[in-house]
Amino acid sequence: MEAVITVFTLLFVLFLAFGVYATVKVVGAAKRGVDRTLTQARRAVEDHTLRAKSFAQLGPAGELAQLRLTLRTSMRATQDALDAGVREDESLKESAALFERLSAHGHELDGELKRLEAEPDRTTLAERLPALRERTRRITESADSLRWAARDRARRFADDDLDALSAQIDVEAGALRHWTEAEPPTAPPAAGAGPQTWSETPRQASEQEPARPAITPPGRRPSYPWEKKARPESTT
Q: How confident is the model at residue 110 (pLDDT cuts 50, 70, 90)?
A: very high
The pLDDT value given to residue 234: 54
The whole-chain average pLDDT of the chain stands at 75
The pLDDT value given to residue 66: 92
d(CA 27, CA 176): 57
- CB 147, CB 82: distance < 8 Å: yes
The pLDDT value given to residue 5: 74
Top-confidence range, 3-17, 36-50, 111-125, 190-204: 111-125
Is the predicted pLDDT of residue 134 greater than 80, yes or no?
yes
Is the predicted pLDDT of residue 205 greater than 50, yes or no?
no
- CB 93, CB 86: distance < 8 Å: yes
Backbone angles phi, psi at 214, to 5 degrees: -65, -35
User: Which residues have C-beta within 8 Å of that of residue 56, sequence separation ≥ 6?
Assistant: 62
Q: Is the pTM of this model over 0.75?
A: no
d(CA 231, CA 146): 123
For the segment 69-87, what is each residue's pLDDT rounded down to a tens digit?
999 999 999 999 999 888 8
d(CA 77, CA 85): 12
Is the predicted pLDDT of residue 206 greater than 60, yes or no?
no
Is the predicted pLDDT of residue 236 greater than 50, yes or no?
no
User: Which residues have C-beta within 8 Å of that of residue 170, sequence separation ≥ 6?
Assistant: none
**Within 13 Å, how many C-alpha atoms sit on residue 112's CB side?**
16
Q: How confident is the model at residue 198 (pLDDT cuts 50, 70, 90)?
A: very low
DSSP symbol at 178: G
What average pLDDT score do residues 9-17 get?
71
